């Protein structure tokens, strides 16, 4: 008789995990489905319509290229760092609305970038932008 009591107490002590696993599985499915429908918060941007402007308009930029060996190129000509101001002044006189776009390659020195930006500002061009070559 003691043997039957032991078996019945062991059976009563056993916990059935199947309902708990079912609930966890249903919760997992619920979170996966709802997470895919969540919309990430962001800022809407109103883009202006593109206008067809001729390529030779007054908004032509002054392109300055700085190579990885710190050589400065403007309009396909190599320019010394001391001559940047004069060249930019001449180009600004031809096109008063022009801005400077500086394209510096990887490996170029920061001091050369700063020197070009300073010379451009000394020439009267305060709109200086940095661009990544090859994009």
Does pTM surpass 0.85?
A: no
Q: Which residue has the higher pLDDT, 14 or 51?
A: 14
Parse the chain into domains and list their residue ranges: 2-36, 62-131
pLDDT tens digit sequence for 33-69:
887 665 666 666 666 776 665 555 455 888 888 888 8
pLDDT tens digit sequence for 66-118:
888 888 988 888 988 888 899 999 988 888 888 888 888 888 888 988 999 99
What CATH number does domain 62-131 carry, 3.30.450.90, 3.30.420.270, 2.30.110.10, 3.90.870.10? 3.30.420.270
Tokens coding 133? 């070559």
């Amino acid at each position: 008789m003691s043997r039957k009591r032991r078996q019945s107490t062991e059976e009563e002590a056993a916990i059935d995990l199947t309902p708990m696993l079912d609930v966890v599985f249903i919760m997992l499915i619920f979170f996966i489905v709802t997470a895919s429908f969540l919309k990430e918060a962001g800022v809407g941007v109103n883009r202006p319509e593109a206008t067809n402007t001729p390529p030779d308009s007054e908004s032509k930029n002054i392109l300055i290229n700085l190579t990885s060996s710190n050589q400065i190129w403007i309009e396909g000509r190599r320019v010394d760092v001391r001559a940047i101001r004069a060249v930019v002044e001449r180009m600004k006189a031809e096109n008063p609305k022009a801005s400077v776009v500086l394209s510096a390659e990887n490996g170029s020195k920061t001091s050369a970038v700063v020197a070009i930006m300073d010379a451009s500002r000394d020439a009267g061009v305060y709109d200086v932008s940095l661009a990544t070559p090859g994009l």
